[in-house]
Amino acid sequence: MARRRHLSRIAVMQALFERDSRPEIDVSASLSMNAEEFEELDRSFAASLLQGFLAHEEEVKQSIRDHAPGWTLERMDPVSRCVLFLGAYELLFAQDAPPAVVMNEAIEIAKEFGSDEAGKFVNGVLNAMAQK
């Protein structure tokens, strides 16, 4: 189950990353294409994460701004930004995994796909959110 959810989070992050660089795409179609990569992916969980984020996008973005002083969303590394979108949504709205699990997943994905400092940055922002 944990592996399936991890892969689901990666697929959603990739769809958000693609939308970030090409806003005109259908993000749900992008998620479906990304999901083809992962046989073990939990499609239902991935779809609920994506739809949940999209439904609360402005609140999630504002919370990231509030907890990353000195950083605009545009200044953030695109991978870190998309990982934060997903992690922040889960912390603030999803409530189906403990905060420590959400944070660990986001940090691992940031380390795997982002820059050397991405994991530390994501950890700092999400930890600040979790403390409130």
CATH number at residue 80: 1.10.940.10
Q: Determine the Cα angle at 10 with ends 79 and 1, to 5°.
A: 150
Q: Work out how many domains the chain is built from and give that number.
A: 1
Which residues span the domain enclosing 23? 2-131
Q: Is residue 132 pLDDT above 80, yes or no?
A: no
Contact (CB, 8 A) for 11 and 34 = yes
pLDDT in tens, 39-51: 788 999 999 999 9
pLDDT of residue 3: 87
Torsion sign, CA atoms 58, 54, 11, 25: negative
Residue 100: pLDDT band by 50, 70, 90 thresholds? very high
* pTM summary value: 0.93
Which residues have CB under 8 Å from 112's CB, separation 6+? 10
Distance separating alpha carbons of residues 72 and 40, to the nearest angstrom: 35
Instruction: Determine what percent of the chain is predicted with pLDDT higher than 70.
Output: 99
Contact (CB, 8 A) for 95 and 71 = no
